[in-house]
Structure 1
Amino acid sequence: MVGSTGPLLFGWLVGEGMERDALFWGYVLVSVVMMFGGVVALVYGVDAKGKSLEDIVEPLAKADRAASPVVI
């Protein structure tokens, strides 16, 4: 739902094409959000290049079943 608002927001920023201030500040806002996302990826990201999923995370089948009882 949120992703579908992108074209609507971009159309509002562009408007008639005469006023550039809104578009400029829209690009500034998006670039700040992207930089924040890059910092989050550096802090919390996992180096997964060239690795299989099993190399990154232990499979759920090996998880300790006593820690999480099955509720029926």
Structure 2
Amino acid sequence: MTNKVFHPLPYPQTLESARAYFLLHGINRSEWARHFGIDQQAISDLLRGRLRGTWGEAHKTAVLLGLKPNPKTQAAA
């Protein structure tokens, strides 16, 4: 087990910038997914545009990737 500390990506991100973030920072997406308890396939599907992150696990993953704002930190409209 590694002692790496992972953080959610800063919002807002595009699909391209989220992919680049992992490469630029040398972050292994599988390790990052395990750290947050999410499925690595959901990350790949979101970054390839196969999922929209509308609800459930896909939404949680989209928030962590910075593709969607965190509803817990956004003011109610």
Q: Give the greater-gyration-radius structure (CA).
A: 1
Is the structural similarity TM-score above 0.5? no
User: Which TM-score band (shorter chain)?
Assistant: under 0.3
TM-score, normalising length: structure 1: 0.24
TM-score, normalising length: structure 2: 0.23
Higher relative contact order (CA 8 A, sep 6+): 2
Structure with the largest fraction of helix: 1
